[in-house]
Amino acid sequence: MHSENECTMRYNPLKHIILIIVTAVLAVGCATTKDPNVERGTDYQYREGYPELRIAAIGLLDENDNALINVTAEVVYGSLIYVTDNDVSKANVVLEIRASQVDGSASYQFREAYEISMEPGTHQMNQDVFTIIEDLEVEPGEYDVNFSLTDLASDKTVNRRTSAQIPDPESPVVNLTTVRLSAKDLDSNEAIFVPITTYNVPSRVDSLKFDFQVTNNDVDEPLTVETRLLKFRADSTPASPMHFNNYSPSSIQYRGIDYRDEEEIDSNVRLLDDPGSVLIEFKYATLERGNYRFEVEIIDQDGETQYRARDFSIKSENFPNLFTPRELAEPLAYLMNRREYERLMEIQDPDSLKEAIDRFWLTNVGSQSRAKSVINLYYDRVEQANKHFTNFKEGWKTDMGMMYILFGPPWYVDSRLNSVRWSYSYNSADPYYNFYFERTRTPNRYYPFDNYLLQRSGEYFNRQYQQVQLWLTGLILNRNR
């Protein structure tokens, strides 16, 4: 969601230059460190004015043992530039994919142009995706897979990169491929599973499917395949007010996610006696919101093991977007007092909840037209926070997400090894407009998330109160801070 008021409010020649620098830094909450044995999908990459592209690439062998790279590209409708002609809005994009063997022995290219059509006026805030799925015929091996998407109307291009590995069906070596996660959408007219490209899965999906391939050409050496579906304890609460005490290092809010605190949802053991490549699938009904891992371990007769896993998180129903009354109500935690918010969350009927939300905004802001502009600005910030700062929980719930929603993009970001300063002033020494975040743990292959926490202070009580009042009165539309 975008409003003209926000665009006007942000513009300042020097500030505009600073915000360009900040754009890349704001993605800090989405950064991950890759574990080659654990697939987590690709991150969101949100750059205003550029097409949004999400990708996945999985190496497989087909039923005839031909090597394939199954590639998925998702293009966010609302990130493209449309031209309206004969009551139809159209966007034109070109997708190029290049798969190059790591050893440099071969490369494969795919290039296709797509015309995306929508009804006029429906694309501006549309965060659904146009999905492209293709199979690239390749030779077995390890590949770097590069995606390039160009919006022909703006002539802007985004590039994404991932990797894929396909086992050699003639090799006697036992192989286990990457685990692929797919989902069937309740809202889709087609009952098909579509690959999930990111760590985050909207809870509206009807069911999940995990598939992987095991290759074993030794008829005398059966394999044991063990799978487990795990759920990890993680923080799922909205950020605390700025004037509260800092979180204790022993709290789940400080640690973020605890991979040592796991709950086993399901487990299976299977013995593979026949040689060749076997594609194995597991399907699960809708899971409750939380952070999960589906893991696979194969064990041969000598006790040698191979391990692969797919981490994922079940987020809100339409994540990273907001459509349902519940999704629109939850982020009001930053504008309501505790009792008011608790009463709102107790409302179960969607129509009654929507009425309560509308009443909250109109009662506070007053003017219906002004309230509409404030609402657009607020929820635009929430959705952008989801894209910038999501980790084990929705981006709007993080400390950086809270500050981004209330105060907007920082004018300047100063990043150190494990700390970040957001400045909303040209004076870096002014405590009223400078805020500090500390990273609780350095990301590594086992802990892939950036969990930055605001350094809270009792002196921030008035600062947050005044900022909330700007929202409740609608004066946020007239402010440059």
DSSP 22-37: HHHHGGGGG----BTT
Instruction: Give the pLDDT score at 47.
Output: 85
Alpha helices in 97-150 (DSSP H): none
Query: What's the alpha-carbon Rg for the chain, to the nearest Å?
Result: 24
Average pLDDT for 284-310: 92
Task: Report d(CA 257, CA 312) in Å as an integer.
Answer: 13
Q: Which pair of tokens denotes residue 429? A: 């020494």
Task: Report d(CA 305, CA 303) in Å as an integer.
Answer: 6
**pTM strictly above 0.85:** yes
**Where along the chain do its domains lie?**
31-222+273-315, 325-478
* pLDDT confidence band for 34 (50 / 70 / 90): low
- The CATH number that domain 31-222+273-315 falls under is 2.60.40.10
Instruction: Give the pLDDT score at 33.
Output: 54
pLDDT in tens, 396-444: 999 999 999 999 999 999 999 899 999 998 888 888 899 999 999 988 8
Average pLDDT for 43-57: 90
Task: Report d(CA 241, CA 32) in Å as an integer.
Answer: 27
The secondary structure of residue 403, as a DSSP letter, is H
* pLDDT confidence band for 341 (50 / 70 / 90): very high
Instruction: Give the pLDDT score at 189.
Output: 59
β strands within 80-187, DSSP E: 83-85, 88-101, 107-118, 129-137, 141-151, 156-166, 175-176, 180-185
